[in-house]
Structure 1
Amino acid sequence: MILRLSQKLNTKIKTGKLVEMPLDENPYADWSCHLFTADRTQYIILTNTASFYSCLMNGRGITDGSTFVAQALDAIRDFATGDGKQTVYRKYIAPSNGTISFAKALNRSVTGSMSDHIHAAKFMLEDDMALSEIGNRLNETPMSALNGPDGRKYGFPKVVFSKLVDQIGDD
């Protein structure tokens, strides 16, 4: 599993120098992560690099890589389960948790899309929305960097995440 850390998050959890890595062969096992602040509270967005499927978690109390990994995996599992994607988590994400690599962001398309998600999340946090609800809304927002099922621009992260299984050649 690859966790791609922003410079800001890497500084917080002190994982050392980040390396460049290509997208994981298993698109479900590649996540981009960024630390942001809203109303003086730290949050971390976890975004599947291939689909922009995202969830949020609190950044409080996360001071090292092992704490971050444990809480990030819990957040992804809990969110995926709450979103009805427990089979995807069990079959494609959980088995890849044995080996975790930290890496740099894949490209500007990913970081730009994450920035769009963060701006929207900050707005929703002002309305005291639950982190899970914010994640659901983000995943139902069309993204110009994604292609939808019909091949057109502006795919939905939730739909693209579900279709990644086609890239693996399973089911």
Structure 2
Amino acid sequence: MMKKVAFISATVAMLVLSGCSSKEPAIDATANGTSTGTNANTAGSTTTATDANAVIAPITNANAADNTAGANNGVNGSDGQLISILFDYDKFDIRADMQDAMTKNALLVKGKSIKLEGNCDEFGSDEYNFALGLKRANAVKAALVNGGVSADAISMSSLGESNPVCLEKTQECWAKNRRVDFKLP
């Protein structure tokens, strides 16, 4: 009996400790000249009640039609104008460079039903990535609601790492997979 308890305890401890590491994967610097930075949009941002850990900058109407966020490669949605919101590694707060895209998307989806699909890179367990994808979708939903979109018109799902848009083993490619896509019914 004691052996069973010890075995079960050891198994549970291994499962708990085998979750996603908070350490970013090592990238060969000669293959890719980019580096990852920290998220700088926490100054002056607000936290919503949808998730106590989500940091969301409020949406403004300034530059709503301007697509200077560098995310024009992330255009999705049935009308081809909605822009995917990209995230940093292991983060679910909306980056400062995605604010213009959030503003544009909020204006485009007002009065419409929308589905948000959270996506992750290939790092971490399936369970962790599904949870992170949902947190990302929840952060985008909170930002849309702050921008005047009805919360009842927004549905969310997480695809985890199962829907990559890029399959190369580079930092740039992994960054494209850390996103929330907008889908119109």
Which of the pair has more CA radius of gyration?
2
More helix by share: 1
Q: Common fold, TM-score beyond 0.5?
A: no
Q: Structure 2 length as normaliser, TM-score? A: 0.26
Higher strand share: 1
Q: TM-score, normalised by structure 1?
A: 0.28
